[in-house]
Copies of this chain bind each other. A is one copy, B any other.
Amino acid sequence: MHSSLSEIKAEVLGRIRPRPEERERLKEISGRILLGAERLAAERGIDLKAMLVGSAARNTWLAQDHDLDLFLGVPESADLGEALEVARLIAPEHEEKYAEHAYVHAKIDGFDVDLVPCYLVKDASRLKSAVDRTPFHTKYVSERIPGLEDEVLLAKQFMKGVGVYGSELKVGGFSGYLTELLIIYYGSFEKVLEAASGWRPGVLIDLEGRAAEERAAYTGREPLIVVDPVDPGRNVAAALTPDRMLQFAAASRCFLHHPNIDFFFPPSAKPLSDEELLGLLEARGSSLMLLLLPAPSVVEDVLFPQLRKAEESVRALLEKNCFSLLRSDVGCVSGRAFLLFELEVSHLSRASRRVGPPVWEADHLSRFLEAHPKPLSGPYIRDGRAVVELCRSYTRPQDLLAAKIGGLSLGKHLSSAIREGHNILVGPEIASIKDEEFRAFLREYFEARNWIC
C-alpha cells in the first residue's frame, strides 16, 4: 500500500492531533491549577507567578500525552522552598522528586503534573537554576509557532517512530524544544526532513545569529549545534548523540524516498517465543551472555549512564582477554536491569601467550622468568622478547565475568546492586527469562534495524 506524502500526513495528524475536547480539558485543568497556586501563594504572602510551560503551553503536545509542566516562579531574592511549599499544598497526594532542585509530581484529573519551583530571572543567560530557562523557551516558541503546530506534531511523531525522540540519556535523541526550533528554522516538517537528509556531524543551526557571541562554549564534540536563541552559550542539541542524529538523517532520507506510515507508527516488537530465541541462537552460532541485576531505584537518567559505563567496562574486560565481541546492549525491565553481550567465541584455548621484556633487559627478564617458573611452553624468544605460554585462568567469558565483576568500575548504584545479587546466564539459559518486555527487547536486539537507505 503506497500512499502519497499528503495522505500519510493527514492520516498521522488524524491520530496525533489533540481533539477539541482534549484541548478544552487541558486548558480547564491547567487554568484551575495555576489559579489555585497563585491563590495559595497570596494567602501566604508569597510573591509567586504560576506558569504553564512545555508542549501543553505551546499547543504542540501529542494527543493522549497527558503531561502538564507547571512552573512556580519566585523572585531571584526569594526562597525556592516557598514555591515548593505551595506545590505540596496544591496536590496533597504527591511524590517529591529531585533534579537540580526538588519538585512535586502528582496525578491530577488523569494528568501527570510536574509542579516545578523556579526563579523569575530577567535574562535566560543569567539563570540561577537550569529550570529558570524554561519559561523563556516557552515564550520564544509561543511567539513563533502559531500556524506551525501540526508540523511540530508530525516531526515529533516521526522522531518517536524512528526511535530518536527524547533527550533523556537512555535515548540521547531530540527534545521537544529542539524539534520546535527545527520547525521554526526550516519552516515545515518536510523541510526539516529534507535538510536532515544531508546532515553529517558538524551541523550548526543559529536561529538568531548569536553563535559568534559564545562560540567557545559549544565547540566540543557535539555533532549538531543548535544555538539556544534565549541563551546563546547553550547548545539545545547537547544531549543528542552522533548515532541518533545520523539515525534521524538516514530515516529522513528513506522516508522522503519511500513515504510510509510505518515510519510514524512502527509495529511494536512482539515478544520472542522460546522457539524463536533458540532458533536465533542456533542460526547466529554466537555466545549470548546476560548479566542480570536488581534495578537500583534511581531514575533512568541516573541508571542508563551507569549501565552504559558498566557495558563499556565489561566490553573492555572481555576484549582484553581475547573474547571478541559481536555486539552488546543494556536495558531495564520489570525491576531488573541487564547487560547483554554477544560474543564471537564461546571459549578460548587454555594455553595463552604472555610476552615479556626484551631479552637484553636482564633485570626485567629475571623478574619475568621468576614470575612464571613453570610455563606450559617456553620461555622462548620471539621478536626479541621472552615469551611464555601459560594456563589461562578463564577459558569461558562467563567465568571471566563472574570472577572479575566485583573489581570493575560500574558506577555507584550498579555496584551496590551487583553486590546485592546478580545472575549470569549464557545461551539457552536466557530462555528462562519469560518477561514479555525482555522478549520484545530481544527481538529488537536481533533485528537491529534502523531506517537506512
Which of A's residues lie within 8 Å of B, judged by CB?
198-201, 242-243, 246-247, 249-250, 253, 283-287, 322, 324, 326-327, 342-345, 347-353, 358-360, 362, 365-366, 369, 376-384, 386, 389, 395, 446-450, 452-453
Bound CA span A366–B253, Å: 12
Partner of A352, one of B253, B326, B446: B326
Looking at A247, A253, A359, A369, the one whose CB has the most chain B CB atoms below 10 A away is A359
Which residues of chain B are near A250, meaning CB under 8 Å?
359, 381
Which residues of chain B are near A350, meaning CB under 8 Å?
283-286
Which residues of chain B are near A349, meaning CB under 8 Å?
284-287, 326, 342-345
Instruction: Please state if B246 and A384 are interface contacts (CB–CB under 8 Å).
Output: yes
With contacts A344-B349, A353-B327, A376-B284 known, is A246 near B452, CB below 8 A? Answer: no
Q: Which residue of B lies closest to A382 (CB)?
A: B243
Instruction: Please state if A448 and B389 are interface contacts (CB–CB under 8 Å).
Output: yes
Which residues of chain B are near A359, meaning CB under 8 Å?
246, 249-250, 452
Q: Which residue of B lies closest to A351 (CB)?
A: B284
Partner of A360, one of B249, B352, B358, B447: B249
State the Cβ distance, A347 to closest chain B Cβ, in Å.
8
Which residues of chain B are near A453, meaning CB under 8 Å?
366, 369
Looking at A247, A350, A377, A389, the one whose CB has the most chain B CB atoms below 10 A away is A377
Partner of A344, one of B198, B348, B362, B382: B348
Bound CA span A153–B165, Å: 82
Instruction: Please state if B378 and A351 are interface contacts (CB–CB under 8 Å).
Output: no
With contacts A201-B384, A250-B359 known, is A322 near B322, CB below 8 A? Answer: no
State the Cβ distance, A240 to closest chain B Cβ, in Å.
13
State the Cβ distance, A382 to closest chain B Cβ, in Å.
7
Partner of A200, one of B360, B382, B452: B360
Looking at A285, A360, A452, the one whose CB has the most chain B CB atoms below 10 A away is A452
Oligomer copy total: 2
Which residues of chain B are near A365, meaning CB under 8 Å?
452
Bound CA span A165–B25, Å: 96
Q: Which residue of B lies closest to A280 (CB)?
A: B376
Bound CA span A347–B349, Å: 11
Instruction: Please state if B378 and A199 are interface contacts (CB–CB under 8 Å).
Output: no
Bound CA span A242–B347, Å: 35
Which residues of chain B are near A342, meaning CB under 8 Å?
349, 351
Given contact pairs A247-B381, A249-B360, A284-B351, a sample of 15 additional A-B residue pairs in the complex whose CB atoms are under 8 Å apart: A198-B360, A199-B360, A201-B384, A242-B383, A246-B384, A250-B381, A285-B395, A324-B348, A326-B351, A327-B389, A345-B348, A377-B447, A378-B448, A380-B452, A386-B452
State the Cβ distance, A451 to closest chain B Cβ, in Å.
9
Q: Which residue of B lies closest to A285 (CB)?
A: B350
Q: Which residue of B lies closest to A343 (CB)?
A: B349
Q: Which residue of B lies closest to A452 (CB)?
A: B379
Bound CA span A349–B285, Å: 4
Q: Which residue of B lies closest to A282 (CB)?
A: B350
Which residues of chain B are near A362, meaning CB under 8 Å?
253
Instruction: Please state if B285 and A351 are interface contacts (CB–CB under 8 Å).
Output: yes
State the Cβ distance, A395 to closest chain B Cβ, in Å.
6
With contacts A322-B324, A326-B389, A389-B448 known, is A381 near B351, CB below 8 A? Answer: no
Bound CA span A386–B180, Å: 28
State the Cβ distance, A16 to closest chain B Cβ, in Å.
26
Which residues of chain B are near A326, meaning CB under 8 Å?
349, 351-353, 389
Instruction: Please state if B283 and A384 are interface contacts (CB–CB under 8 Å).
Output: no
Instruction: Please state if A446 and B384 are interface contacts (CB–CB under 8 Å).
Output: no
Q: Which residue of B lies closest to A446 (CB)?
A: B377
Bound CA span A199–B200, Å: 55
Which residues of chain B are near A369, meaning CB under 8 Å?
452-453
Which residues of chain B are near A322, meaning CB under 8 Å?
324, 344
Which residues of chain B are near A285, meaning CB under 8 Å?
347-351, 395
Instruction: Please state if B351 and A383 are interface contacts (CB–CB under 8 Å).
Output: no
Bound CA span A449–B377, Å: 7
Bound CA span A365–B201, Å: 16
